[in-house]
Structures are given as structure tokens and as C-alpha cells.
Amino acid sequence: MNLVVDIGNTHVKAAAVEGISVATMLTFPSAREVDVEPILARYSITRAIVASTGSGAAEVIEKLKRRGIKVLEMTPDTPVPIGNGYLTPHTLGTDRIAAAVGAEAVFGRDDYLIVDFGTAITIDLVSGGVFLGGNISPGMRTRFRALHDYTSQLPECSPTDETRFPARCTREAIEQGVMQGITYEIEGYMKSLAEKNVKLSIIFTGGDAKYFVKRIKNAIFAKCELVICGLNRILDYNATEQADI
């Protein structure tokens, strides 16, 4: 059993993981508020991996080391069990490469389009065991907030399962504009790749993926935490390669 800590842009996840099975997971609003004592009290954990797309990794790592846990910090230089074709690997978010590793850990080696619905939406291509890169756009909640924060009168809206056009009030227009805009965006990638005869398995992951599974056909919803599973696979891989982890 390993401890995986994923420090994201909006919250922090700490999980006890074995293989691709997440035994338990806690969520915190910031790295400063991370308290893994309930996990350590329940499970026998001697090693951990800490990854961050935000800040606060050093503080979490220090807490774990004081508890006698061997810690691997996920960085652009950390060895991973897949190839990386990204031209600027030192600017690649740890969540993106971890999701790619997680896809192979959970579903096996294949060609994937991985769509991670979080603060940002990342659309990444993995082929032949190599991360090839992808695109980034604002996430669903980021779009809702932006319309509210950068205008004087538009309300802050929430996700909806409804689909309709045309919308007949401003709140509905924002809800439908964001939800359908993301839907058409992802479907556009899928259509473009299909027209090029690129055969892919489409995987949806991330906190907001559930809102789009029913809207977009032919996608696999990764019910597990793909990034968490990928980070655990990376930790196991490095523990095999480096005796001190």
C-alpha cells in the first residue's frame, strides 16, 4: 500500500493506493491543510509520491519525511514507464503524464485520447506507449467563473444535464453555452481524428467528466482516479528502479 498525494490547482487529494485500487482518499482545500494521519493510522505505509500542479509540495513532503516515510517527488525528471514525446517536458504538468501512465495501468497499452475535465480541460494523445502531447483549454467551472468575473451583469452559473437550443433566458444561455461548447469542442477532436483514420480509445477522467459522459458517445468513463493510479504506478516503477525509494 502506497500513499499518493496530488496537489492540484483547486484542491489536494491524498490516497492510499495498491496497484490500481484506491483504498481510501481524502480531499483538502490546500497543501497547508493536508492531514494524512487518518490514512497512516489505518494502513501500513512506508513510501509515498507527491505531485503538484500548484504549490505546497515541499511542506507536504517534509511532513511525510518526519513520519519516517520515503517520499518520491514527481518532477519532470522523474522516470516514468512510458515514452515522452513532448518538446518541452519541463513545462508538462505532472497530472497530464500521470493520467497517460494511469490509462495504461488501468486499460492496458493502446492508443488513447485522454480528456481530463478539471480546472483546465486537457486533451492528450498517447500512442504506442508514448505520450505525444495535446491541447489545453479552460475547464467547465473556469468558464462559468470567467463569464461572471469579467462582466458586470452576468450571473455565476452551474452545470446542467439539460440540452436545448435556443436558450430563452440569460442564465440558461450561459449554462447551455458552456456545456454545449465543451461538448462540441471534444466532439470536434474526435471527428477530426476519425477523419484521419486515427483509431483511438477515448477516456474521460477528472472531477467534471461525469457531466459529459452522457453527452458524448463512444467515450470510456474512467471511474477510478486515473491520475492517482498513474502516480502510484510511477512510484512502483521507481521503487523497482531505485532501492532507496
What residues act catalytically? 95
Cell of 75: 518532477
At position 169, the amino acid (one-letter code) is C
- Are 208 and 118 in contact, with CB atoms under 8 Å apart? yes
Number of H helices, E strands in the chain: 6, 11
Give CA torsion, residues 147, 136, 184, 153, to 10 deg.
0
How far apart, in whole angstroms, are the C-alpha atoms of residue 224 and residue 109? Answer: 17
- Are 151 and 173 in contact, with CB atoms under 8 Å apart? no
**SS3 labels along 77-105:** CCCCCCEECCCCHHHCCHHHHHHHHHHHH
